[in-house]
Structure 1
Amino acid sequence: MAGEVAAEWARTRPRGAAKTRDGAALVLGDPSPRLAHALEDLRHTVTRWHRLPSANQLHTPWPPPGRFGEVWVRMPRSSLEAAMLLHAAAARMDDGGQIHLYGANSEGIRSAARHFPDGTGEPRAALIKRRCRVLTAVRSAPPPRPDRLDSWKLSALVDWGTGDRAWTFYPGVFAYGRLDPATALLIEALPAIPAGSRVLDFGAGTGPIGAAVLERAGRRTEVHLLEPDVISLAAAAVNAPGATLWAGSDLSDLPGPFDLIVTNPPIHVGSAQSLRTVEALAQAAPAALAKGGSILLVAQRRLPLARVLEDSFRDVRPLVDKGQFRVWRAISARRAQSSRPRR
């Protein structure tokens, strides 16, 4: 809905409201193409960027360089991420360029004017409609922070039972500034991992499970981190040196087979709970596992994961219960593994 409202403003704003640089516009963080199509209909050259994989968008840890007449930012879930993207937007235009932030009331857009960086004028509500709004500000000076991801780095201490260690986070990553309790429980439940094993951390985030596997099993173990968010992967590259990083969520693209798949999988799409990621993983895992391989998964106890896993594995059992979380182990895949990916 917010994208539709932004597209409407792009089409109906007064002539001359946008001071474009050769008609160049940048759209940050919007998976929907509605706004981009509206801008293209107005003969703007549109570049789209997203930290998550999305069709026809750049998928890089930092927005692309260049100069744009206007930049549109889709309101993210994290207020700090909003500030980060607005800084990046301001760094990609000359004075007089316009920055637009758009989102729904439920996403915090009504109080989002405070996220615009110094060097932009007072944001104004250009359009308020359907419980969404578009905030617009004009750049008057360069933003204060350097134009790079590392200028938003947070280093905090985490401990999964073997002592404090410095951990790198960036805005918008899962469990920002802390070790998630479900992840900590899965690390506690890790089995002995023989030397030479191949381990995949599915939905690796900033890399704590993969780093714990490397710490426990040593460098002779091959650890792969699969994560769709390339900003999280940038943090994981610092946190889990020695691991192989993959951007995405599709096991078929990886050089299997693996002896162990470990995961604290996402169970939400936006604010709605969904088991689609777990179901897709359960279906794909048998083809990605070596003979005798297993999957170790942590999630909230109330979720019906036994049913999901039993569709693909003969032996599914809980290993650890602690608080609201449970660690599941699944072995003995039901499906033929003739199609499993090879190294």
Structure 2
Amino acid sequence: MAAKDFLNQILAALAPDVAVNVAPETLLPATTHIFDTNLLKTLGRKNGQAVCAEVTAVPTGVGSAVTEATSYKPKALMIFEIGELAARLEDGGSVFLLERHKKRAKTARKMMAELFGEVEIVEAADGVLIKGTGPKPFDHQPATAAIRVTDQTNGRNYDLKTWPGLFSGDGLDQGTAFLIDHLPDLGAGKRLLDVGCGCGPISVVAAGRGGMVSYLDVDATALRITGQNLAEHGLVGNALLCANLSDLAKSSFDYVVSNPPTHAGSDVLQGLFEGMRHVVTNGGHVTIVVRRHLAYEKWIGRHELVADDGRYKLLRFFA
């Protein structure tokens, strides 16, 4: 039996009350309440119903909960998730950490031992399931960095909070900065959609210029942080948790801007670009920033090159 199947079997037998941010293929009983910050993972679950929400949406009085360690998840974020789950346990309840990769098991064990008084381990050939009981007092709130964004058109500075795991969480991404420097005219209440908002630098600058901003992401945390950053500067916007732009009303935005997730694969990106074309008005346009060597022009049809700084290029296309 493969280690993955073995660990899944153990989890199914344990029947945890709550699962947070575990892989869609993880086998869980129908009685388990599943929470995930990523809408794509929520929609991709083949077993059990799931809600796209952060761990803070988990109710109190939980008997047992499971979350998963992954290579792309910062340690600070894992500690936050485990800490939030631990705070919601009933007396004697347990948190399980699923680590599928043996080479990272030692680190996972050590972390759980720092957070819980009692730690038990179920080990398979290529992974471990670590049970923590009796949470120790600890500060599980992650340190949030701040990034400075400057609007070159009016000299206004914005200090934005970030969050572990969000794109460009330790500084403003160069591609995003390039796109911000070439935002369209947002006068007269123009409607702008920021696709893949992250911590919200594009949305904040656009709203600061008077645009009617909607910010969209598949990540519930990104929407929360962007909303907080807008509010911190006295600005407003409309949050959209959405995995398919074609679900939105046709021709509902004057402008669409994005630093798209180039790691997502060709099928996802082609669908994303088609969705952008769907929501932009006739007479409006879509502007994306990509690394200069990426040949996305073949997917977007009629377009124009707005700018090229030698590292990034801005491509504009239409409905």
Settle same-fold status: TM greater than 0.5.
yes
Q: 1:297 aligns with which of 288, 291, 302?
A: 288
Q: What is the CA–CA distance in structure 1 between the aligned matches of 2:288 and 2:91, rounded to whole Å?
A: 50
RMSD between aligned residues: 2.7
Q: Is the 1:28–1:72 Cα contact (8 Å) retained in structure 2?
A: yes
Aligned length: 300
2:17 corresponding residue in structure 1: 25
2:206 corresponding residue in structure 1: 213
Q: CA deviation at 1:328?
A: 1.0
Distance 1:92 1:5, change over 3 A: farther
1:7 corresponding residue in structure 2: 8
- Name the amino acid aligned to 2:109: A
Q: CA deviation at 1:125?
A: 3.9
Distance 1:2 1:164, change over 3 A: farther
Q: What TM-score do you get using the length of structure 2 for normalisation?
A: 0.83
Q: What TM-score do you get using the length of structure 1 for normalisation?
A: 0.78
Q: Is the 1:198–1:260 Cα contact (8 Å) retained in structure 2?
A: yes
What secondary structure, in the 3-state scheme, does the structure 1 residue paired with 2:134 have? Answer: coil
Q: 2:237 aligns with which of 243, 258, 263?
A: 243
- Name the amino acid aligned to 1:259: D
Q: 1:52 aligns with which of 38, 50, 54?
A: 38
2:187 corresponding residue in structure 1: 194
Q: Unaligned stretches of 5+ in structure 2?
A: 44-48
1:98 corresponding residue in structure 2: 94
Distance 1:5 1:84, change over 3 A: farther
1:319 corresponding residue in structure 2: 306
Q: What is the CA–CA distance in structure 2 between the aligned matches of 1:280 and 1:303, rounded to whole Å?
A: 17
Q: What is the CA–CA distance in structure 1 between the aligned matches of 2:58 and 2:178, rounded to whole Å?
A: 38
What secondary structure, in the 3-state scheme, does the structure 2 residue paired with 1:112 have? Answer: helix
Q: CA deviation at 1:49?
A: 0.5
What secondary structure, in the 3-state scheme, does the structure 2 residue paired with 1:116 have? Answer: helix
Q: What is the CA–CA distance in structure 2 between the aligned matches of 1:106 and 1:89, rounded to whole Å?
A: 24
Q: 1:283 aligns with which of 269, 274, 290?
A: 274
Q: Is the 1:118–1:144 Cα contact (8 Å) retained in structure 2?
A: no
Q: Is the 1:7–1:34 Cα contact (8 Å) retained in structure 2?
A: yes
Q: What is the CA–CA distance in structure 1 between the aligned matches of 2:286 and 2:175, rounded to whole Å?
A: 16
Q: What is the CA–CA distance in structure 1 between the aligned matches of 2:193 and 2:103, rounded to whole Å?
A: 33
What percent identity do the matched residue pairs reach?
Answer: 23
1:75 corresponding residue in structure 2: 69
Q: What is the CA–CA distance in structure 2 between the aligned matches of 1:107 and 1:163, rounded to whole Å?
A: 47
Q: CA deviation at 1:325?
A: 2.0
What secondary structure, in the 3-state scheme, does the structure 1 residue paired with 2:32 have? Answer: strand
Answer with 301-310 or 110-119: which moved more: 110-119
Q: Is the 1:82–1:115 Cα contact (8 Å) retained in structure 2?
A: no
What secondary structure, in the 3-state scheme, does the structure 2 residue paired with 1:35 have? Answer: coil
Q: CA deviation at 1:142?
A: 5.4
Distance 1:303 1:109, change over 3 A: farther
Q: What is the CA–CA distance in structure 1 between the aligned matches of 2:183 and 2:133, rounded to whole Å?
A: 51
